[in-house]
């Protein structure tokens, strides 16, 4: 009885430590393994478009594309990154890049508006044409399945708005970048160009 409860406690502690240690930005892990694949044969992420009834299956809709997945917010110090993200999309979309935005209110309550308000803000303020999806939880137990998959693939969850995940044409997560990495940075544009 004592041994069984000790083993159970040890397993629970190991699981807890494993979960808590993964919630950081990892810029060092470059190795791509099957763990890194989020668009495998059994993965399905059906997500509704922002302020729309249209639903897309992300892995099918963007199959063969390089994806840059970003959690966004309209009232953040990084909100002006919308302009850079749109520029990336304009510059590289013909070569196979798609930027995918997920508005989220998870950090500092910086995306409090309705989906209609968010869509109008993005379109009118920054001319956003890249695909935007429904307001999404990106951290914690209630995180969207796609964000849970991104976390599993990288051991890194967003720590703030405008966290970026770069996914290759085969659905493998290649790298993730914190909010301070701007869309125009050579670090990010170089990585995108290598995948295109």
Full pLDDT tens readout for the chain, 196 residues? 444 444 444 434 343 334 333 333 434 334 444 578 888 766 679 999 999 999 999 999 999 999 999 999 999 999 999 999 999 999 999 999 999 999 999 999 999 999 999 999 999 999 999 999 999 999 999 999 999 999 999 999 999 999 999 999 999 999 999 999 999 999 999 999 999 9
122 is catalytic: no
Angle at 146 between CA 76 and CA 108, to 5 degrees: 20
| Active-site position among 39, 59, 76, 122 | 76
Residue of 118, 36, 31, 124 whose CA lies nearest to 71: 118
128 located within any domain = yes
CA distance 154 to 23: 9
Query: Which range marks the domain in which residue 48 is found?
Result: 25-195
5 located within any domain = no
**In the structure encoding, which two tokens stand for residue 102, read together?**
């997920």
**What CATH code is carried by the domain that includes residue 148?**
3.40.30.10
37 located within any domain = yes
144 located within any domain = yes
Number of domains in the chain: 1
pTM of the model as a whole: 0.82
């Amino acid at each position: 009885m004592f041994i069984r409860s000790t083993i159970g406690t040890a397993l629970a502690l190991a699981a807890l430590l494993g979960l808590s240690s993964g919630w950081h930005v990892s810029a060092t892990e470059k190795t791509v393994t099957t763990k890194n694949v989020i668009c495998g044969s059994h993965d399905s992420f059906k997500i509704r478009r922002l302020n729309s009834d249209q639903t897309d299956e992300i892995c099918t809709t963007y199959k063969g594309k390089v994806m840059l997945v970003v959690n966004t917010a309209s009232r953040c110090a990084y909100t002006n990154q919308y302009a850079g993200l749109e520029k990336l999309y304009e510059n590289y979309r013909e070569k196979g890049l798609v930027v995918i935005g997920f508005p989220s209110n998870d950090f500092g309550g910086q995306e409090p508006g309705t989906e209609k308000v968010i869509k109008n803000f993005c379109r009118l303020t920054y001319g956003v044409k890249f695909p935007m999806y429904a307001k999404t939880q990106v951290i914690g137990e209630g995180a969207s399945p796609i964000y849970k998959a991104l976390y599993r693939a990288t051991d890194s969850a967003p720590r703030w708005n405008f966290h970026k995940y770069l996914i290759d044409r085969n659905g493998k997560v290649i790298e993730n970048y914190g909010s301070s990495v701007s869309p125009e940075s050579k670090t990010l544009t170089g990585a995108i160009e290598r995948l295109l």
